A and B are shown apart, each in its own frame.
Chain A
Amino acid sequence: MAMDDLTSKIRDISEQNPNLCMQCGTCSASCTGIGAMEQLPRQVMRLLQLGKDKALESSSIWMCTTCLTCTARCPRGIDIARVMEALRVINLRQGNEVLVLEDIPLELLTEVPQMALTSGFRKLSA
């Protein structure tokens, strides 16, 4: 995807401007996904500023729990969770999904509350 394409798509879907990010790392330090991410949220924002497609391929976007801690704390007022969602949505609309029913252990599948299935599939499946 050309740089302008990715940047404008992210802006359209998220209504957020990644260029406002000043790379302070507050989001990274606050993130629930810490310890499981390839790139920290700050680094994903930087990839977007540079128009790098790697942001779309980062496994970090799938570790997000949409807990909105980053959004609540961003000193630049960026709703970072919306940027992560935009990156997921671009993937999901191309059929790239990460949560597949068959991969969920049966022991878990029979015990989890329904809301985990509905929310998980809404965020992580095409």
Chain B
Amino acid sequence: MAIPYFPGCTLKTKATGLDSSTRATLAALGVELAELPDWTCCGTVFPLAQDNYMGMVAAARILINASKEDDGRLVTVCSFCYNVLKRVNYAIKNNEETRTKLTQYLEEEYAGETKLVHPLEVLRDDVGFEALQGKVNDKVKGLKVACYYGCMLSRPASEMQFDDEPENPTIMEDLVGAMGAEPVDFKYKTKCCGSYQVMKTYDLVVKRVREILEGATASGAQAIITSCPLCQFNLDWIQEKIAEEDSSFAKIPVLYFTQLLGAALDVPAEELGLDKHYVDPKALLKG
């Protein structure tokens, strides 16, 4: 049975490779996703002002629509979507005033029943990392990979309940190991890349991005993986800008974890969507 799936706005435009590689990779492992009908943008950021209910309406509507499907779960892969949907669901479940306001406004009965899951969790819990080991080819074998979680996947830990530690999650490293690749010890893995500040405080984001990229290279990584289209953009686009000004700068491809896994599962190139990257990752995945 297919699990309801919320792609989110960026996966239909700038990050189509994340959408197609997520679907194809999970399908190759026997997990079908069914796109939620009539979805809208999730709102991208969780409102941190407790009186900002309007900032939660879109996410609440998506969660309610998902609860009407049979499965009970909702899969989403973009780190921002995952964060805002999970936090709004937590607020609906645990805060009576939030629940009442949102459900009355939307004229629906809902108490947080939808279980939001990330594809990393599907891979760990439904497919199983051990089972995965027997299914991969040699394309990424021995490849040194820096797993970059950024800020949105795991914080705040009490609400996200994504991995055990807000500052030291290991689920992506476990996945990389199961693919036959080698996760490197990467101290910047939960550092923020600067996020939306790229549009306002560009120089700050360049600094943060450069620390993360150089940290990955210093750890011996040949590639960085992420599940966030904004991290991917900042790390990928900005390093081209850094390299234009500093010819000694060592570039490093920034992939979605689903693209790396897809390569290891012989997912066709057109579904991996490697053509939109600024730093070309294709040579790495030839195997």
Contact = CB atoms under 8 A, between A and B. Distances in A.
Partners in one complex: yes
Interface of A: 12-15, 32-33, 35-36, 62-63, 65-69, 71-72, 79, 81-82, 84-86, 89, 98-99, 104, 108-109, 111-120, 122-124
Interface stretch (B139-147, B202-210, B218-226): B202-210
Nearest to B156: A68
A42 to B, nearest CB: 18
28 contacts: A13-B49, A14-B50, A32-B192, A32-B204, A33-B201, A63-B197, A65-B192, A65-B196, A79-B48, A82-B49, A82-B50, A85-B49, A89-B49, A108-B198, A109-B199, A111-B233, A112-B199, A113-B13, A114-B14, A114-B41, A115-B9, A115-B44, A115-B229, A116-B195, A120-B196, A122-B44, A123-B45, A124-B200
A65 B155 CA distance: 13
A35 B204 contact: yes
A119 B237 CA distance: 19
Contacts of A112: 14, 198-199, 233
B204 A33 contact: yes
A81 B87 CA distance: 15
Contacts of B198: 108, 112, 116
Given A68-B151, A89-B49, A119 B9 contact: no
A62 B229 CA distance: 22
Nearest to B52: A89
A108 B8 CA distance: 21
Contacts, number: 139
A117 to B, nearest CB: 8
Contacts of B169: none
Nearest to B229: A113
Contacts of A117: 199
Contacts of B8: 115
Q: Is the interface of A mostly helix, strand, loop or mixed?
A: helix
B230 interface: yes
A116 B157 CA distance: 23
A115 B80 contact: yes
B191 A82 contact: no
Contacts of B191: 32, 69
B48 A114 contact: no
Given A89-B49, A115-B78, A63 B44 contact: no
A114 B204 contact: no
A66 B45 contact: yes
A125 to B, nearest CB: 10
Given A35-B207, A66-B45, A114 B13 contact: yes
A68 B233 contact: no
B48 A81 contact: yes
Nearest to A108: B199
B50 A15 contact: yes
B185 interface: no
B262 interface: no
